[in-house]
Amino acid sequence: MATLEPFATMTGTLDFKMQGKMPAGLRLDAHFAGTMVSEHWDGEVAVSGIDYVTVRGDGIAELAIRASMGEGDDVVSYEATGRQTPEGIVETLYFQTASEKFAFLNGAVGVGTGSVEGQTLTLEIFLVKH
DSSP E strands, the chain? 3-22, 25-37, 44-55, 61-69, 76-85, 88-97, 109-117, 120-129
Q: Could you tell me how many residues make up the chain?
A: 130
Q: Distance (Å, rounded) from C-alpha 69 to C-alpha 67?
A: 7
Domain span at residue 49 reads 3-129
Per-residue model confidence as pLDDT tens digits over 47-97: 999 999 999 999 999 999 999 999 999 999 999 999 999 999 999 999 999
Per-residue model confidence as pLDDT tens digits over 99-127: 999 999 999 999 999 999 999 999 999 99
Q: Assign residue 86 the CATH number of its domain.
A: 2.40.160.20
pTM over 0.85: yes
Number of domains in the chain: 1
